[in-house]
């Protein structure tokens, strides 16, 4: 007979969002079980960059959420047992035309009005902090609060700390059904048996739509593929995280910053570069809706490599040693979906983080823990409600 388990709270998904939620719940003394179909960080959280970029967030609630999340990283550095490779390095966005410069200037002004320090740099000012950029680069914007982290270490660090505080982690265990009676979650059916629980957090990434169906709620999360190239390691030479203005265009669907070339448009190409603690460069990336296909493609590899040379020509001397693709859990507006659902007490959503889940993980975990345990949050999460789509 299948085992019957119980837990005060069940968290579905062992990605960065599930791990952060479990961590903050455990800190408040809750009894938590993480149920993960595969392994920790086996989804998007293990196949992504580590940008903690504030200046790329949408103005308003999204930016506020990211700024609150940024404040929590130093405490995680202190508290987690592993080195999460957090580097408060600042971030650059590079423009390759005067039109893009104009957009970056307007964004810098709007972001500054919302309390985020962003400086616009001319080509000569940029050269002082990033000397060898491509000839096309006309300048950029710099945000000193942008930072970098190792997403896999962050996910594992949060999950293992939660475990140390008492959480149970079920790996290779798929949630197959959620039993709701009298409008309340009662039981979670998994491939390893049933779990009695009155509270369940859906942090299932691209599996969230499937989880929603179990309680007859449409959770509009679609997989969006992103591809990355990894180079051989080098001595530290890139002091900041760096993106091209077109990255902002494809990420936020900003018409004025979308790529001009048809192939780049089709791939959702936007330049990103970061140098990891081990010295490798991660070069990205794409934004493609191709269902659940997480294969890399030669077209994208070529396009990413060519695009990187426009911004950092010296990168041509480094060998590419591998590539990978991840599937972002994408919501219709690119903002996370956080909160309760109508008519099902004890069911909580922490999903749809799209291209920002690493950055938004700490604040997501914190507010979800407050919502699950107290029924209210210290930060207004109503802009992230599921019902904004109805």
Ligand X SMILES: Cc1cc2nc3c(=O)[nH]c(=O)nc-3n(C[C@H](O)[C@H](O)[C@H](O)COP(=O)(O)OP(=O)(O)OC[C@H]3O[C@@H](n4cnc5c(N)ncnc54)[C@H](O)[C@@H]3O)c2cc1C
Quick one: which of 9, 11, 12, 145 contacts ligand X (CB under 6 A)? 12
Q: Does 203 bind ligand X (CB under 6 A)?
A: yes
Q: How far is the CB of 117 from ligand X (least distance, A)?
A: 20
In 181-202, which positions are buried (b, 16+ CB within 10 angstroms) versus exposed (e)? eeeebebbbbebebbebbbbbb
Half-sphere exposure of 245 (CA within 13 A, CB side): 29
Q: Does 175 bind ligand X (CB under 6 A)?
A: yes
Binding mask 251-290 for ligand X (x = CB under 6 A): ---------------------------------xx-----
Neighbouring CB atoms inside 10 A of 61's CB total: 17
Q: How far is the CB of 14 from ligand X (least distance, A)?
A: 5
Cβ proximity of 84 and 157 under 8 Å: yes
Binding mask 228-247 for ligand X (x = CB under 6 A): x-------------------
Closest CA to 154 of 225, 223, 72, 232: 72
Q: What number of chain residues touch ligand X (CB under 6 A)?
A: 42
Closest CA to 189 of 172, 212, 214: 214
Pick 39 or 380: Cβ nearer ligand X:
39
Pick 101 or 159: Cβ nearer ligand X:
159
Give the interface segment with ligand X, choosing from 35-43, 125-133, 232-240, 305-313 (CB under 6 A). 35-43
- How many angstroms separate the CA atoms of 79 and 87, rounded? 16
Cα 245 to Cα 94, 279, 331, distances in angstroms: 6, 24, 22
Cβ proximity of 283 and 308 under 8 Å: yes
Closest CA to 165 of 71, 75, 83, 80: 80
| Interaction residues for ligand X, span 360-379 (CB under 6 A) | none
| Interaction residues for ligand X, span 41-80 (CB under 6 A) | 42-45, 47-51
Quick one: which of 64, 87, 251, 328 contacts ligand X (CB under 6 A)? 328
Quick one: which of 244, 252, 326, 365 contacts ligand X (CB under 6 A)? 326
Q: Does 249 bind ligand X (CB under 6 A)?
A: no
Q: Does 359 bind ligand X (CB under 6 A)?
A: yes
Q: Does 171 bind ligand X (CB under 6 A)?
A: no
Neighbouring CB atoms inside 10 A of 332's CB total: 13
The structure tokens listed for 269 are 């190409």
Half-sphere exposure of 173 (CA within 13 A, CB side): 23
Pick 16 or 101: Cβ nearer ligand X:
16
Q: How far is the CB of 155 from ligand X (least distance, A)?
A: 7
- How many angstroms separate the CA atoms of 65 and 60, rounded? 9
Residues forming the site for ligand X (CB under 6 A): 12-18, 35-38, 42-45, 47-51, 174-175, 203-205, 207, 211, 226, 228, 284-285, 326, 328-329, 351, 353-359
């Amino acid at each position: 007979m299948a085992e019957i388990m119980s837990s005060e709270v069940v968290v579905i998904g062992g990605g960065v969002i599930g791990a952060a939620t479990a961590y903050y719940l455990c800190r408040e003394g809750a009894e938590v079980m993480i149920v993960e179909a595969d392994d920790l960080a086996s989804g998007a959280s293990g196949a992504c960059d580590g940008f903690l970029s504030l200046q790329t967030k949408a103005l308003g609630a999204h930016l506020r959420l990211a700024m609150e999340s940024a404040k929590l990283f130093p405490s995680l550095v202190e508290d987690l047992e592993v080195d999460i490779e957090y580097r408060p390095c600042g971030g650059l966005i590079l423009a390759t035309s005067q039109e893009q410069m104009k957009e970056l200037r307007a964004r810098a002004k709007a972001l500054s009005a919302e309390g985020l320090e962003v400086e616009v740099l001319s080509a000569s000012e940029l050269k002082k902090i990033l000397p060898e950029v491509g000839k096309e680069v006309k300048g950029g914007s710099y945000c000193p609060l942008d930072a970098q982290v190792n997403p896999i270490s962050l996910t594992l660090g949060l999950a293992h700390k939660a475990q140390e505080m008492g959480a149970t982690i079920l790996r290779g265990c798929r949630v197959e059904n959620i039993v709701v009676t009298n409008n309340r979650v009662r039981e979670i059916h998994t491939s390893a048996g049933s779990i009695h629980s009155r509270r369940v957090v859906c942090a299932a990434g691209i599996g969230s739509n499937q989880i929603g169906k179990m309680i007859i709620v449409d959770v509009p999360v679609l997989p969006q593929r992103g591809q990355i190239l990894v180079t051989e390691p080098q001595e530290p030479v890139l002091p900041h995280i760096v993106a091209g203005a077109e990255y902002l265009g494809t990420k936020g669907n900003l018409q004025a910053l979308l790529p001009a070339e048809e192939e780049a448009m089709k791939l959702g190409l936007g330049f990103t570069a970061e140098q990891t603690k081990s010295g490798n460069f991660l070069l990205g990336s794409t934004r493609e809706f191709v269902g659940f296909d997480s294969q890399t493609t030669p077209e994208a590899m070529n396009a990413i490599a060519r695009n990187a040379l426009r911004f950092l020509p010296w990168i041509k001397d480094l060998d590419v040693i591998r590539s990978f693709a991840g599937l972002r859990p994408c919501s219709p507006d690119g903002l996370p979906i956080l909160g309760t659902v109508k008519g099902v007490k004890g069911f909580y959503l922490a999903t749809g983080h799209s291209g920002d889940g690493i950055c938004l993980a700490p604040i997501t975990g914190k507010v979800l823990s407050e919502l699950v345990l107290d029924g209210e949050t210290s930060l207004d999460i109503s802009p992230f409600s599921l019902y904004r789509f109805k």
